[in-house]
Amino acid sequence: MLQLLRFLIDTIQPFLVPICFVCAWAFMSAIAWSLWTVVRDSVESSKRLHQIPCSHCQYFTGDYRLKCTVQPSIASTEVAIDCLDYQPKTNPLLY
């Protein structure tokens, strides 16, 4: 039994280094691809969230209890990007 095991180990040994090399690079490539995907998705999400105009609207209160006096249910969400009730602030000191 031990002789068979020794024979198998001696047979496989020349292939172990290339197999481990390829597996290690495949693992590193998978990590790099995963990090790239996370960064790409974060940038896309950030761009979409920066399109929300609520903070520059005259109806936006800034209070966490009532963020908007006209559309409180969609205030500061992605739904508010195309808000029909948006009116820019007329007083620049209120920013």
Please report which confidence band the pLDDT of residue 25 belongs to, taking 50, 70 and 90 as the band edges.
very high
The answer to whether position 29 is within a domain reads no
By the 8 A CB rule, do 45 and 16 touch? no
The answer to whether position 60 is within a domain reads yes
What is the C-alpha separation between 95 and 80, in angstroms, rounded?
Answer: 19
Q: Which tens digits make up the pLDDT trace of 53-80?
A: 998 899 998 888 999 989 899 999 999 9
Residue 88 scores a pLDDT above 80 = yes
The answer to whether position 28 is within a domain reads no
pLDDT of residue 34: 98
By the 8 A CB rule, do 27 and 55 touch? no
The amino acid present at 43, given as its one-letter code, is: V
The answer to whether position 13 is within a domain reads no
The answer to whether position 57 is within a domain reads yes
What is the C-alpha separation between 75 and 56, in angstroms, rounded?
Answer: 12
Q: Give the mean pLDDT of 27-44.
A: 98
pLDDT of residue 90: 83
What is the C-alpha separation between 94 and 32, in angstroms, rounded?
Answer: 44
Percent of the chain's residues with pLDDT above 90: 54
DSSP-derived secondary structure letter, 65: S
| Structural domain for 75, as ranges | 52-95
pLDDT of residue 40: 98
